[in-house]
Amino acid sequence: MNEIEKWLNGRIGLNFRSGLERMQRAVDLLGNPEGAYPVIHVTGTNGKGSTIAFMRNLFADQGKKVASFTSPHMVSVHDRICINGLPISDTDFVRLGRQIQEMESELVKTHDQLSYFEILTLLAFLYFREEQVDLALIEVGIGGLLDTTNVLDGQVAVVTSVGLDHQETLGQTLTAIAEQKAGIFKKGRSAIIGPLPEEACRVCEQRAASLNLDLYEYGRDFWFSDRSFKNKDQLLSHLVLGLQGAYQEENAALALQAFLLFVKQMDWEIDFSLLPSSLQKTHWAGRLEEISPNIYLDGAHNLPALSRLVEFIKGQKGKTCSLLFGALKRKDYSGMLAYLQEALPEVQVTVTSFDYGESVGQAEAADFEYVADYRAFIENFKQEQTADQVLFVTGSLYFIAEVRAYLQSV
């Protein structure tokens, strides 16, 4: 662990929701690096990472230097800050981190010290400016309106989905959460929304109208069905997606619509023959990822994401499925477990603990089977599994990252 990572880890837990004044002052002191390149700004309860993964390949395969900032990370914090899929080097991470430390000595004269996520966001902004990227795909941390990343002026805003998650921060209703998500819409720009609940869709439409913004809606302006993408200008057929799950068609549609719109705005040429392969080779760690034969990792860390996993499991005809679940105590783990029990009565659900933070334990598992050691559980499954047995490991993204690191080390 380098010196900047140690400094960064000392700021974990400093999650401010008091507005963007401190972050705005920080980017001003750094010379506004976030304005040095065009941005596609992505928010949503679920689907952000997969949509960015599709877009990253679509742009990179057209010869563009495409930056991406995503969270959380699966392996290293460097993985959050990439150019054409390659993480920032340790040398650049440390050097730019020192620039932020130096800037902060001036910032704290008028504002509080920076949080973990603010530092990483600033580091990404600096790195992307220095590397003179063609565009940046920036994922919101939480919400949108008050999110650290919202100091930028996104050329295209994308809302992948709206569901109940982070209610303690974003609000208790879909309308309140949608208002936060639509907070990344910028005056005179463009926005694209996925298949949202009616009340969330209405919020986005009202926000777009107030900002004189062009809004493109899934199901109205663009579609994906029967392996084909369609909007008013294009029909792309015989598409095969590299990410599993029927819902990935929605994410691919959002990615294609954003890609085509952005390219048109930039007046860039497109080699349409490359688009199918860009989608087919897309991979996103920890999202219905078959990490080894018949063992899937899926970071379904809230009820909307879990419903998509359940849909996939129900499609495993002729298979005997079991599920290993790990979650943080601060999440709605009891609601998720109750949903799994109701939706998948024939699936054996086992609860486990993991090393990160306050994870659920035997007491929280209640009537569900509990194992303290997920490593032993997985090894036992691998030794005894037959061809028709499938294990799904799900819950917290931190849990998935831990399991993934373990499986790649054995």
DSSP string computed for 223-243: EEETTEEEESS-EE-S---SS
CA atoms within a 13 Å half-sphere pointing along the CA-CB vector of 342: 9
Q: Give Cα separations from 128 to 52, 95, 135, 246, 261 (angstroms).
A: 16, 14, 9, 33, 22
Query: Three-state SS across 336-371?
Result: HHHHHHHHCCCCEEEEECCCCCCECCHHHHCCCEEE
Q: Pairing mode, if any, of strands 228-231 and 235-236?
A: antiparallel
The SS3 call for residue 296 is strand
**pLDDT tens-digit series, residues 143-187:** 889 999 999 999 999 999 998 666 566 667 899 999 999 999 999
* pTM exceeds 0.75 for this model: yes
Structure tokens at 161: 């989905």
Structure tokens at 69: 């900032």
How far is the C-alpha of 342 from the C-alpha of 255, rounded, in Å? 33
Bond into 72 cis (ω within 30) = yes
Amino acid at 98: R
Sort residue 188 into left (φ over 0), alpha (ψ -120 to 50) or beta. Answer: left
Q: What is the DSSP letter of 115?
A: P
CA dihedral (327, 331, 337, 339) positive or negative: negative
**Helix pair angle (174-181, 198-210), 10° resolution:** 40
Contact between 229 and 252 (Cβ < 8 Å) = yes
Kindly list the averaged pLDDT for each block of 10 residues, start to end, along the chain of length 410.
Answer: 88 71 97 98 94 98 98 90 96 97 97 94 98 98 92 97 70 87 96 96 97 97 97 96 91 98 98 98 91 93 90 94 94 92 96 90 93 96 94 94 91
Residue 16 confidence (pLDDT)? 54
* Neighbour count for residue 376 (Cβ, 10 Å): 11
Question: Could you give the maximum distance between any two Cα atoms of the chain, in Å?
Answer: 64
Residue 128 confidence (pLDDT)? 98
Residue 301 confidence (pLDDT)? 83
**Residues pairing with 135 in the sheet:** 66
Amino acid at 198: E
Contacts of 271 (CB under 8 A, 6+ apart): 62
Domains in the chain, please, with CATH? 3-281 (3.40.1190.10), 289-409 (3.90.190.20)
Contact between 227 and 194 (Cβ < 8 Å) = no
Contact between 83 and 6 (Cβ < 8 Å) = no
Burial (0-12, 13-18, 19+ Cβ within 10 Å), 279: buried
